[in-house]
Each structure stands twice: as structure tokens, then as C-alpha cells.
Amino acid sequence: MASIRIGTGSAWWGDRVSPAKLNADQGDLDYLCFETMAEATISAAQVRKRRDPSFPGYDTYLDDRMQAVLPGCLKRGTRIVSNQGWINPDGAAERVVHWLREFGSRGIKVAAVSGSLITDRVLEQTDTILENGKPTSSLRDNIVSAEAYLGAEPIVAALRDGAQIVVTTRVADPSIFLAPMMHEFGWDPLDHAHLGPGSAIGHVLECGAQCTGGYFADPGAKDVPEPWNLAFPIAEVDEHGNAVISKVGGTGGAITTMTVKEQILYEVHDPANYITPDVIVDFTTAKLEEVGPDRVRITDISGKPRTPTLKVSIGCAEGFIGEDMFFYAGPGALGRAKLARRILEERFKIIGLKAEDLRIDFIGVNAIHGPASPTDREEPYEVAVRVAARTLTREEANKIGREVDGMAVSGVGMTGKRVPRQDRTREVIGVWSSLTPRAQVPWSINMYES
């Protein structure tokens, strides 16, 4: 093919579904790609599975997304690539087959890509924690899960074997979008000259509405039309890795060199050496040009040979967080909040709270910038007091909510206290990084059919 159209279906697990349906129905796409993970997604899924054996282990919004996009994709012949498989890509693939059959589509191949989970051997395959230089063996007692970031190759293999839909476990975000380019244009996995720009386009697409005006608007400085009606981006990619970024017409938001540049630099520590499993991208050679309303052409991005190692994300159990809030409003609100903080600090001493960290912040006053917050500002009319502690045990974390409850009748005058309707204690998953030899992370594909 001389060019292909690739659209974004999601930028993370909690992303909106309606823009994905819009792309499926009106985007005239060859491929629709979903990115649904954050760093801690797999570890959190493992924790939930441990707590609730009935949890299927894949994206909890898989049903919503497939019901929304399958009709349009089946009508157009759009292929789907998604990392919604999380810790159970086979289960996710079987669920997709279920929805295909519900829509009356038979004979559609759905591939499940596995291989990223290396929890059982991570300490043998890794040496050093990248964040602090300590040996990965120091994490031994707390490891929940460990997964290597796979690249585009297994997805390409699945597409080559006839899969119309590919569901994966942990795959690097740009690789989900790069795989269709490699498959359609016949790019070799070691062809860094093409994989560099291809991965760069994948990086632009992976965060969805961030390059169509989402996470960009700043009233009066960077205005965005109809930000409530954002579409997800579409890339028209040619065989050389050049692309035009666009969106479905009639939607809000904006695609300009500014929105695309912000996304290019998002989460890129070194623009000359953006490391992915497939290639090292060099954004410093990129050329961007507005070629029409909501159309930006990207050319001349470079690539360097891929590394011999893959990044490993290691999720560890690191205790619990107890958290709750209460409120003050009207004249003197800040003064009452400060007294409430003093009361809680003393009461935590009385009950012997064992906390690794304790924060009592005033939202709207100092919760974001802490000690760097300005002090010469007007007295706030209302203040929310957020109390949070990180502890080693759930029992200690539970003490936060219990003491905050007491503020309703044993605290400061005019305390506004919400009735607790949810668990105010949550498990903390710390995420650490390491590297593993590429050859020690084999992947596999299971094929299903509707």
C-alpha cells in the first residue's frame, strides 16, 4: 500500500469511548489502535486478581469499547490493534470473539499476544534498578509482577497470519501503532531508517486527544474551539514514514504545529534518543508543517538501531495509603483548617499512628506546591482539607479515616464532613525499572476465530 490511515482508539484505560466510535464510524481507517495501560496497570491488575479471583484480568472497559467500535470497523474492514489484554490477553481475545459473534461476524481471526510477563524469572534476568542503582534482588520480598516491554514484531506476525484484531499484553505504546506500518509497508524489524519515523508517528498518536487539543487548552493563552467535542487523531502515513495528522471533520479541538509539538515532547527525556523496543527515535531532525485546517505534516524524523535490551517494569507492594477529606467555608475558613490540622497531628500521636509519610494539605492553598505556595494571597473563602498517610499495614492506614470521622463532632466549628461511601484505604504499588536481554523475552501468539 502507498499509504495507510491509522486512528487512535484510546490513550489510557480510562479514556473516553465516543471518540473511538467516531473514528471507527467516520475515520475511513485501515487500522484503529487502542493504548490502555499506564506503568502500574499490570501490577494493579495482579493485585485485583489476587483479591478477586473472578476478575478476568483484561481491560475492564473492553466490552464498552468493542461494542462501540466493532460495527464501524467491520463495515469498513478496519483492523484493530490493542493492548487491552493486560494480564490475560487470551481471555480478552475470547471476549472479542464473543462480541464478533454477537454482531453476526463469523470467521474473523483474533490474535492474543503473550510473553511480556516475566515475574517468575525477573531477578535472574535483571541486575540493577535504574532509578536508584540498587540490585533488583533488593525487591525480592515485595514483587507483585514484572513485565518487559514488547515491541511491534509479535503484532506484525499476528497480522501476517491473518488476524483482523490483535490483543496484546504489555507492548510499548508507539509499537501498537508502528506494527501496522511495518506490516503494510514490509519494513524490516532492523530497518531503523523507517522504524524511527514510524515509531515517532506512533508516539504522536498514542496519547489520543493530546494532539487534537486535549491537555492543551489554557484560556486566553492557548484557546481550543469546542474542547468538549474532541476527536482522536488520525495519521495518514506513507511508505517512507512521513505522515499527515488529522481528525474527523466537524469535531472540536485543533491540530496545529503547537499541539503536535507538545505531544512530540511529552514524556520524552531526550528528544535525540527516545528509546523504544523497536528503535531509538531522533526527533531533533523533524519538520512540521501545517498543510491545511487541522492537518499537520510530519517529515524527516530519524532513527537509530534498537538496543540489545528491553525495559522491564517491576511492580512492588509498598504498603497502603489511608486518605480522607473534610471542608470549611466562609470567613475564617483557613484558620479553622489550620486548627483542624493541629488537632489531627496531636490525635495521631495519641493513637500511635505508624506512618512512613503523613500529609495534611489545604486544597486550593498549598496542596500542589507545598512550602513553595505563596503566602501573601487573599484569604480563601473555602478550603478542603486532605489528610493522607502512607503506612506499612492496612490497619494503620485505616486510622486516617477513623480520626477524620471524629472531626464531624469532635473537631472545629462548622466542619463539613462527607459520609464515607467508599474504601478510604488502598494498596500502594511502587513501580521500578530495569533492563533485560532482548533474547530472554520470547513472545507467543494464540489465534482464535469468531
pLDDT grade, residue 145 (50/70/90)?
very high
Of 32-41, 132-141, 255-264, minimum mean pLDDT range? 32-41
299 & 318 share domain: no
Quick check: is 141 in a domain? no
Range of the domain at 16: 3-124+147-313+438-449
Residue 13 in any domain: the answer is yes
C-alpha cell at 309: 535490551
Q: Is the pLDDT of residue 422 over 90?
A: no
What is the average pLDDT score of the chain? Answer: 96
Strands (E), 330-420: 357-363, 382-391, 416-417
Cβ density class 382-404: b for 16+ within 10 Å, e for less: ebbbebbbbbeeeebbbbbbebb
Q: How many whole angstroms separate alpha carbon 152 and alpha carbon 178?
A: 6
Please give the grid coordinates belonging to residue 340: 483542624
Distance, in Å, from the CA atom of 161 to the CA atom of 175, rounded to the nearest integer, reads 18
pTM equals 0.94
Distant-in-sequence, close-in-space partners of 291: CB < 8 Å, separation ≥ 6? 244, 297
Residues 222, 212 within the same domain: yes
Task: Verify that 69 and 204 share a domain, yes or no.
Answer: yes
220 with 334, same domain: the answer is no
Do 95 and 64 share a structural domain? yes
Same domain, 267 and 397: no
184-223 confidence digits (pLDDT tens): 999 999 999 999 999 999 999 999 999 999 999 999 999 9
Tell me if 132 is assigned to some domain: no
The string of pLDDT tens digits covering residues 57-112 is 999 999 999 999 999 999 999 999 999 999 999 999 999 999 999 999 999 999 99
Based on the domain organization, do 294 and 329 belong to the same domain?
A: no
* Helix, strand, coil % over all residues of the chain, rounded to 5: 35, 30, 35
Residues 416 and 296 in one domain: no
Q: What is the CATH number of the domain that holds 335?
A: 3.30.70.2750
Give the pLDDT confidence score for residue 376 in this predicted structure: 84
Q: Look at residue 419 and tell me whether its pLDDT is greater than 90.
A: no
Helix, strand or coil, per DSSP, at residue 294: coil
Whether residue 271 sits in one domain with residue 324:
no
Please compute the mean of the pLDDT values over residues 442-449 and round it to a whole number.
98
Same domain, 220 and 72: yes
Tally of domains within the chain:
2
The answer, yes or no, to whether residue 14 has pLDDT greater than 90, is yes
